Amino acid sequence: AQKVTQAQTEISVVEKEDVTLDCVYETRDTTYYLFWYKQPPSGELVFLIRRNSFDEQNEISGRYSWNFQKSTSSFNFTITASQVVDSAVYFCALRGGRGSTLGRLYFGRGTQLTVWP
Amino acid sequence: DTEVTQTPKHLVMGMTNKKSLKCEQHMGHRAMYWYKQKAKKPPELMFVYSYEKLSINESVPSRFSPECPNSSLLNLHLHALQPEDSALYLCASSAPRGYNEQFFGPGTRLTVL
């Protein structure tokens, strides 16, 4: 079974604070793929990152960074020096590697991030 | 060009109407998806097309009828919908291999009266 848990339903921070969004996943697949998407109020899901199960390197892209730890089945997302434009719902998602689940993204329930000026 | 377009942006329809949602991508992707998203919920997969053939139907009611006329276009035909079908309908595309990320369109906000 594939499952993604985002325990934080809502987070509020003040601009320039750092914030970490948690993502814990469950899968029996040895090969799998993890994703983060951002959904601003306009509705479109914006792809942020993909991480393959065989690549545990952390990644930094500007103010965004991701910490992938297979030992704890976590793929956390940190925004440094948050800005008002970061306000959105953030979804973590899992895609299995087996053919029967190919094409199916399993989403967490999302974390609503609000950044106050 | 990493854009997926959807039309219309908003749609209001009665329960006896027939309407269609359209999705287009020009990224050369051969997998396309329809999702339904209710407020404060994650997207729910409805259909997956791979190489223009329906490969996944998540037990969606027959009042939703997908169509993939070619590799760039995806339609969702709607007929005799219920008010509970009101939602944001998202289209996405990806390269067909499993590890590739899906790119989403802006969605169609559907209201069924």
Q: What is the mean pLDDT of each run of 10 residues along chain B (113 residues)?
A: 88 92 94 94 94 91 96 96 96 80 94 95
A31 strand-pairing partners:
none
Name every chain A residue with its beta carbon within 8 A of the beta carbon of B74: none
What pLDDT is recorded for position A59? 87
What pLDDT is recorded for position A96? 79
What is the rounded CA–CA span in Å between residue B6 and residue B34? Answer: 11
**Is residue A28 exposed (0-12), middle (13-18) or buried (19+ Cβ within 10 Å)?**
exposed
Name every chain B residue with its beta carbon within 8 A of the beta carbon of A53: none
What is the rounded CA–CA span in Å between residue B30 and residue B94? Answer: 7
Å between A26 CA and nearest CA of chain B: 17
Q: A17: closest CA among A107, A79, A76?
A: A79
Name every chain B residue with its beta carbon within 8 A of the beta carbon of A37: 104
Confidence label for A102 from pLDDT (cuts 50, 70 and 90) = low
For the ranges A44-53, A92-101, B32-41, the lowest mean pLDDT is seen at: A92-101
User: Which two three-digit tokens encode residue A100?
Assistant: 């029967």
Q: Does A47 touch chain B if contact means CB atoms closer than 8 Å? A: yes
Q: Does B56 touch chain A if contact means CB atoms closer than 8 Å? A: yes
User: Which two three-digit tokens encode residue B8?
Assistant: 């219309």
